[in-house]
Amino acid sequence: MRMANAAGANDIAEFVRDYVERNRRAIALVGDNVFYFGELGMQEFETMGLLTGVLEQGGFKVERGIAGLPTGFCATFGEGGPVVALHTEYDAVPDNSQVSGVTRQQSIVEGAPGHCEGHNVNAAVLVGAAMASAAAMKRHGLKGTLKVFGGPAEEQLIGRPYMVRDGWFDDVDVAFHDHISSDYEAGYGIIQSALISAKFTFHGESAHAGTAPWKGRDALDAVVLMDGGMAQYREHMAPSSRMQRSFPEAGDQPNVTARIASAWWYFRDADAEGARKLFEQAQKIARGAAMMTDTQVETEILAAVWPLRGNRTLADLVWRHIESVGMPAWSEEEQAFARELQANSGAKAEGLRTRVARPAGEAKQRWSANDAGDVSWKTPMCKFYYPAMVPNLAAHHWAAGAPLATSIAHKAAAAAARILAGAALECFLDPALVAQARRTFEDELGGAAYRSLLPPEQKPPVDLNRRTMEIFRPMMAAHYLKDKPVFV
Ligand SMILES: [Zn+2]
């Protein structure tokens, strides 16, 4: 059956290769522009503007602000079935402003947000693959719909669960998610963890802490007591559980009893049930802390995701394209840069990977979570990792930011765009493959019913990170690139 399409498949592969080759600079410029925007989750306005502008020029019909997410979008090309989705994230990380192309810590703007996980390159791969796919669909008259989703605030796990809950993936047959790494990967099975992000805000009453402390009801005391309770509970939680917190509001001055104080928690576990159990225990502890301090507690779920899973049929498909495109050919200069960066950040100095290595068997579950998890329970999905990162460096560290607007990122993004477009186009060319992915997906779910962990009335936190961006954006804007991507 594949034979009937063999000539078509070769023509399309050649077309995609030429398209990406011709647009190498445009793809690189998408990633580099987004690198300098360095926008935190829910505030990716410049980024979304750039990406959707390019997609519109490529003939996509763009809907912005979907699912109550001002910086989320869906761009559609073509019509009818099958419906193939490409999606990724493009947010930066707080206090991670790093000059690209140097091997020492050096901020672009001191204290500002920056890309230190490579979501800027994710955006370049997404747009490069989408533009190449649309051009190939047009040229070769392929039937079907390509949907490109931009997901805001991945670092806070916000975007895609809202899109899934609100039905944006209901008609999607298969989906692909691209994410940076230091290797190629396209695993099947459970790849990442479940996570619930929740904020506990305590409300008390202020007082002069020196002259009349007995008049106050201290919200900060409640946060401290909750934290003590959580620390005790750690001893009794399952080995698969993890939880971390920060204190967004913790009082202003010692002489004013805190009227409002809050704790923001991430609850992680191997499955959604485990994350829910942690959250439920935390709610009891928070109520106890409120009772002890005579304060009131208000709980808000900011985000909740299922553990990301990979579909085997799509993993096999993507691996075929990885093997046909291969590793980028790194120059000696790029290898030397990588080794020096590794050495300077205390990592093993072994340079960039030069060989494609396909792991045997199912993926190993990671502790990280990604808000694309919910998509992967709704529709067969492949999470495709590509090698634009220098190996052995930890994301969210300055060193991980250093290669993100260099030729290393540019070469890997071009290769990844070719792979992703190749895999997506094969779904249009061979609808039987899509049907097979749907069948293996049903087997993999084994009857497990997905339901959103988000309360139905929950709205995305649109003000998240707004103040930080208002402070830093004017200083960061001085470094924006003048060159914009133009695809031909
Ligand atoms: Zn990421």
The rounded Å distance from CA 394 to ligand 1 centre is 12
Q: What's the mean pLDDT in 167-181?
A: 98
Q: What is the pLDDT of residue 3?
A: 41
DSSP state of 118: -
CA of 159 from ligand 1 middle (Å) equals 13
Whether the pLDDT of residue 167 is over 50: the answer is yes
Nearest to 479 by CA among 154, 23, 106, 104: 106
SS3 for 181?
A: strand
Ligand 1 centroid – CA 222 distance (Å): 33
pLDDT of residue 449: 85
Closest CA to 67 of 371, 379, 473: 371
Cα(106) to centroid(ligand 1), Å? 22
- Cα-to-centroid distance, 234 and ligand 1 (Å): 27
CA nearest 252: which of 219, 287, 286, 299? 219
Which three-class secondary structure state does DSSP give residue 386?
A: strand
In CATH, which superfamily holds the domain spanning 2-192+307-477? Answer: Zn peptidases (3.40.630.10)
What does the pLDDT read at residue 4? Answer: 41
d(CA 285, CA 293): 13
**If we measure between CA atoms, which residue out of 61, 245, 87 comes closest to residue 152?**
87
Which tokens hold the place of 430?
A: 């061979």
Residue 2: pLDDT over 80:
no
User: Can you give the pLDDT at residue 417?
Assistant: 98
How far from chain centre, in Å, is Cα 250? 29
What pairing do the DSSP bridges indicate for beta strands 61-64 and 83-89? unpaired
Is the model's pLDDT at 158 over the cut of 80? yes
pLDDT beyond 50 at 179: yes
Distance 164 CA to ligand 1 centre (A): 19
Percent of the chain's residues with pLDDT above 70: 99
Cα 157 to ligand 1 centroid, rounded to whole Å: 10
Region 25-47: mean pLDDT is 98
**If you measure from the C-alpha of residue 404 to the centroid of ligand 1, how many angstroms do you get, rounded to a whole number?**
13
Rounded distance between C-alpha atoms, residue 190 and residue 178, angstroms: 16
- What's the CA-to-centroid distance between 11 and ligand 1, angstroms? 34
Return the amino acid letter for 20.
V
pLDDT of residue 122: 98
Q: What is the pLDDT of residues 203-245, one digit of tens each?
A: 999 999 999 999 999 999 999 999 999 999 999 999 999 999 9
Q: How far is the CA of 453 from the centre of ligand 1 (A)?
A: 21
Tokens matching residue 80: 């009818």
d(CA 122, CA 377): 22
The Å distance, Cα 423 to ligand 1 centre, comes to 21
pLDDT tens digit sequence for 295-333: 999 999 888 899 999 999 999 999 999 999 999 999 999
Environment of ion ligand 1 (residues, CB < 5 A): 117
Would 2-192+307-477 and 194-304 be classified into the same CATH topology? no
Distance 8 CA to ligand 1 centre (A): 35
What is the rounded distance in angstroms from the CA atom of residue 6 to the CA atom of residue 238?
Answer: 51
What residue type is assigned to position 114 of the chain? G
Distance 154 CA to ligand 1 centre (A): 7
Looking at residue 453, what is its pLDDT?
80
For residue 88, the one-letter residue type is: T
CB atoms under 10 Å from CB of 198, counted, come to: 21
CA of residue 77 to ligand 1 center, whole Å:
26
Residue 274 Cα, ligand 1 centroid: separation in angstroms?
Answer: 22
| In contact, 342 and 390? CB cutoff 8 Å | yes
| Distance of alpha carbon 49 from alpha carbon 281, whole angstroms | 41
How far CA 184 is from CA of 232, 401, 416, in Å, comes to 41, 19, 9
Q: Look at residue 41 in the predicted model and tell me its pLDDT.
A: 98
Structure tokens at 469: 């961006």
Q: Give the pLDDT of residue 455.
A: 82
pLDDT in tens, 410-445: 999 999 999 999 999 999 999 999 999 999 999 999
Q: How far is the CA of 130 from the centre of ligand 1 (A)?
A: 20
Q: What is the pTM of this model?
A: 0.91
* 346 backbone φψ class: left, alpha, beta (φ>0; ψ -120 to 50): left
Q: How confident is the model at residue 109 (pLDDT cuts 50, 70, 90)?
A: very high
Alpha carbon of 258 to ligand 1 centroid (Å): 35
pLDDT at 303: 86
Q: Return the pLDDT at 53.
A: 98
Q: How far is the CA of 63 from the centre of ligand 1 (A)?
A: 24
For the chain, give the mean pLDDT: 95
CA of 81 to the centre of ligand 1 (A): 30
Bridge partners of 62? 75
Distance 346 CA to ligand 1 centre (A): 22
Cβ 373 vs Cβ 308: under 8 Å: yes
Instruction: Output the CA 219–ligand 1 centroid distance in Å.
Output: 34
State in Å: Cα 214 to ligand 1 middle. 47
Ligand 1 midpoint to CA 96 (Å):
14
Q: How far is the CA of 111 from the centre of ligand 1 (A)?
A: 20
* 308 Cα: distance to centroid of ligand 1 (angstroms): 13
Confidence bin at 368 (pLDDT 50/70/90): confident
How confident is the model at residue 8, as a pLDDT? 83
Contact 185, 358 (CB under 8 A): no
Q: Reply yes or no on domain 194-304 having CATH 2.40.10.10.
A: no
- Could you tell me if 53 and 114 are in contact, meaning their C-beta atoms sit under 8 angstroms apart? no
Neighbours of 346 (CB within 10 A): 11
**pLDDT for the residue numbered 240:** 93
Q: How far is the CA of 107 from the centre of ligand 1 (A)?
A: 21
Q: What is the pLDDT of residue 374?
A: 95
CA 262 to centroid of ligand 1, rounded, Å: 26
> How far does the centroid of ligand 1 lie from the alpha carbon of residue 98, in Å?
17
How is the chain split into domains, by residue range? Answer: 2-192+307-477, 194-304
